Amino acid sequence: MVHFTAQEKAAVARVWGKVNLEEIGGETLGRLLTVYPWTQRFFDKFGNLSSTAAIMGNPRVKAHGKKVLTSFGDAIKNMDNLKEAFAHLSELHCDKLHVDPENFKLLGNMLVIVMSAHFGKEFTPEVQAAWQKLVAGVASALSHKYH
């Protein structure tokens, strides 16, 4: 089980308080679909993903990015218990969505990069490390129920 120190929790919360879920969520998902185009395989019904501009401006990408990031907010409220918090979503991603867990790692790293771009100096190596630990914990929790 992942254990977060008080400093790590504080580092995560400090940045999270300033995150605009739609903006950061949309950007994160949009960049995932742009930088790793094969991830588009899960989003055939999202309409126009034919160019970077189309992806980043696609309203369904933005809405889904917001949904995913809102879920991260739940992670932050349950940092000591990620596996239980994400049990249902884990089953969903395996049984219904059929998403390779490798994608959770890709999305997590994409979130870290987007936050680095948004928060600049504030996103110090220590803050990044706390977030890397969180995204790794979420990725692990989301793959926990796979069979």
Partner 1 sequence: MVLSPEDKNHVRSTWDKIGGHGAEYGAEALERMFTSFPTTKTYFPHFDVSHGSAQVKAHGKKVADALANAAGHLDDLPGALSALSDLHAHKLRVDPVNFKLLSHCLLVTLANHHPAEFTPGVHASLDKFLASVSTVLTSKYR
**Is 38 near partner 1 (CB under 8 A)?**
no
Separation of alpha carbons 93 and 68, rounded Å: 12
Contact pick of 9, 113, 144, 145 for partner 1 (by CB under 8 A): 113
Judged by beta carbon, residue 12 or residue 55, the one nearer partner 1 is 55
Contact pick of 123, 138, 142, 143 for partner 1 (by CB under 8 A): 123
**Is 128 near partner 1 (CB under 8 A)?**
yes
**Is 15 near partner 1 (CB under 8 A)?**
no
User: Segment near partner 1 (CB under 8 A), from 2-10, 39-47, 50-58, 86-94?
Assistant: 50-58
Three state DSSP letters for 11-76 = HHHHHHCCCCHHHHHHHHHHHHHHHCHHHHHHCHHHCCCCCHHHHHHCHHHHHHHHHHHHHHHHHH
Separation of alpha carbons 101 and 93, rounded Å: 9
Q: Which two tokens mark 25?
A: 């969520």
Residues that bind partner 1 (CB under 8 A): 30-31, 34-35, 52, 55-56, 109, 112-114, 116-118, 120-121, 123, 125-126, 128-129, 132-133
